[in-house]
A and B are shown apart, each in its own frame.
Chain A
Amino acid sequence: QVQLVQSGAEVKKPGASVKVSCKTSGYTFTSYGISWVRQAPGQGLEWMGWISGYNDDTHYPQRLQGRVTVTTNISTGTAYMELRSLRSDDTAVYYCARDRAIRLGEFAIYDNWGQGTPVTVS
């Protein structure tokens, strides 16, 4: 079965960086993308970025451009999300999700999700 297993909780100081991993299994990594979504405490969902497992194309929301980087290791089927210059309002649970969009501009559908990684900035 499809699984996405994320790394554990993190506590960081303001100004630091965090890197969250997402280890996938049960499907062909290069046939899907990976998107990252975060959820601040008691709040809604915010898309943070996407990477193609097929060709490593990436796409980020403008408001996070320059602070977030999404990468993959195809040999291990693992995706990574790094967020820099952390602020208190980056405190959130960070999710990776398997995305049916494999090329830029395709319809994003998050059909399987990781368990979430809490990141606290304090």
Chain B
Amino acid sequence: DIQMTQSPSSLSASVGDRVTITCRASQGILNYLNWYQQKPGKAPKLLIFGASSLPSGVPRRFTGSGSGTDFTLTISSLQPEDFATYYCQQSYGSPQTFGPGTKVDVK
């Protein structure tokens, strides 16, 4: 199985901060990488697909980059509604696997 790791596992930030989360795959996955946001008690929500594409309705302050094994999710200016847990997911290999998550909370 392709293992996904994320760093940091958690971070504390303030509204307006620039936040960067990294995701690393145990082998190359091209750009078969998605990012999801999950708030407590809610289902995950698609944030980024194909490493860098933004679904309609997702604010432009979210950007994704990377290819191969190393990927990043950046929030350019953290908003109150962005405090959540973020997961990366690969679907290059089977089984599809998720990273362990990065929790973003209030500083």
Residues of A whose CB lies within 8 Å of any CB of B are 35, 37, 44-47, 59, 61-63, 95, 97, 101, 107-116
Given contact pairs A95-B43, A115-B43, enumerate 16 new A-B contacts (beta carbons under 8 Å): A44-B87, A44-B99, A44-B100, A44-B101, A46-B98, A47-B95, A47-B97, A59-B94, A61-B95, A101-B91, A107-B32, A109-B49, A109-B50, A110-B36, A111-B55, A112-B46
Total number of A-B contacts with CB less than 8 angstroms?
54
Bin the interface of chain B by size.
Answer: 20 to 34
Query: Which residues on B sit within 8 Å (CB–CB) of A116?
Result: 43
Q: Are B43 and A47 in contact (CB under 8 A)?
A: no
Residue of A nearest to B30 (CB): A107
Nearest-CB residue, chain A, relative to B31:
A107
Q: How far is the CA of A119 from the CA of B89 in the complex (A)?
A: 23
